[in-house]
Amino acid sequence: MGATVEVEHLTKSFGRQNIWHDVSLTLPAGEISALLGPSGTGKSVFLKTLIGLVRPERGTVRVDGVDVISCGERELQEVRKRFGVLFQDGALFGSLSLYDNVAFPLREHTRKGESEIRRIVEEKMELVGLAGAGAKLPGQISGGMRKRAGLARALVLDPDIILVDEPDSGLDPVRTSYLAQTLVDLNAELDTTILIVTHNIELARRLPDNLGMLFNRRLVMFGPREVMLTCDEPVVEQFLNGRRLGPIGMSEEKDAATAALEAETIEEDDETIRGLVPQMRPSRGLPDRPGEARRAHRVTDLLHALPARQREEILAAAPAPEAARWRDLHAAGTAVP
């Protein structure tokens, strides 16, 4: 199973600019989580903090119990090997072929021979649809191919945790769906912990088990998709619907006067999409995702604490066996199965 990442009371500033403060959340092992938020709210900084590239002034980041912030350099190197990171542009070395880019972590961090390296690189390149493209240079291929090569490189060390910064940047909607499907399939096969950072509402609604939202220098909420996609929290609702009406303005938070004026002049959008849409499933022939089952158990525990409207909405959208089990448990007043 992938690793659990526990973040507690994390605060980061650059000089006098506070990026976010007191962020606490747990990425459950083997589940797919997504961090949302308007541009500039520090999502990329958060990813870099998880792997110890950015040092916060307060807080802890524990990867299966090891604190990335306070551990020594040697231990940090070991923890980093557990992460596979896909940065926005793929972050490839421009002078190296795709093959050498993907092979790089294996040559750098393992003692594997070239024939073993070739086997692994070819396997990962095939997985991301780049079989046969190894000789190309990053400058000779499209942004989408660079992105997929970046993913292949992120996977060669068989990471326990995959971090993906904006899976859809530079990709068309079809390629974005393929990339998202690759992540779901990887999670189904290996039970890897995955965190993606995205603005893409469609992706946020359909891919992750858990959603978090950064806004106005704090983590507004973090929780299972059932809870987040049905909640009434204005920031989350506005963002997940891409609406103008709400607390998020063009540049961060609106002042009270602007919000009041807009409430009078902007019509409530007709096309507001609320509620739970079905989650992406692993490709045919792959096993069910164990992470999904674990999330369902957590939701069972949470149902009792939710308002009746939200509980009913979740139960109405749940798959038949789960909904029946949740209803029974709820009726019996039992939180834990």
Tell me the CA distances in angstroms from 43 to 91, 100, 199, 217, 304, one per residue in order. Answer: 17, 29, 10, 11, 31
Site residues for ligand ATP, 238-257, by CB under 6 A, read: none
Q: Is the dihedral of CA 78, 79, 80, 83 positive or negative?
A: positive
Nearest alpha carbon to residue 149 among 81, 187, 98 = 98
Other CB atoms closer than 10 Å to residue 247's CB: what's the count?
A: 17
Of these, 1, 14, 95, 263, which contacts ligand ATP (CB under 6 A)?
Answer: 14
User: Judged by CB, which is closer to ligand ATP: 29, or 196?
Assistant: 196
Q: Rounded CA gap, 188 and 128, in Å?
A: 16
Nearest alpha carbon to residue 79 among 69, 88, 89, 66 = 66
Site residues for ligand ATP, 44-103, by CB under 6 A, read: 44-45
* 281 three-class SS: coil
Secondary structure of the chain: what % helix, strand, coil (to 5)? 40, 20, 40
As measured in angstroms, the least distance from the Cβ of 253 to ligand ATP is 15
Of these, 19, 85, 236, 240, which contacts ligand ATP (CB under 6 A)?
Answer: 19
User: Judged by CB, which is closer to ligand ATP: 20, or 99?
Assistant: 20
Binding of residue 43 to ligand ATP (CB under 6 A):
yes
User: Judged by CB, which is closer to ligand ATP: 37, or 150?
Assistant: 37
As measured in angstroms, the least distance from the Cβ of 147 to ligand ATP is 15
For the chain, the C-alpha Rg in angstroms (whole number) is 21
Q: Name the DSSP class of 103.
A: H
Cα three-residue angle 144-204-82, rounded to 5 degrees: 70
What amino acid is encoded at 243 in this protein?
R
As measured in angstroms, the least distance from the Cβ of 214 to ligand ATP is 7
As measured in angstroms, the least distance from the Cβ of 174 to ligand ATP is 22
User: Judged by CB, which is closer to ligand ATP: 75, or 202?
Assistant: 202
As measured in angstroms, the least distance from the Cβ of 100 to ligand ATP is 28
Site residues for ligand ATP, 23-42, by CB under 6 A, read: 37, 39-42
User: Judged by CB, which is closer to ligand ATP: 86, or 157?
Assistant: 86
User: Judged by CB, which is closer to ligand ATP: 19, or 128?
Assistant: 19
Token representation of residue 258? 């602007």
User: Judged by CB, which is closer to ligand ATP: 42, or 150?
Assistant: 42
As measured in angstroms, the least distance from the Cβ of 43 to ligand ATP is 4
As measured in angstroms, the least distance from the Cβ of 270 to ligand ATP is 28
Contact residues for ligand ATP, defined by CB under 6 A = 14, 19, 37, 39-45
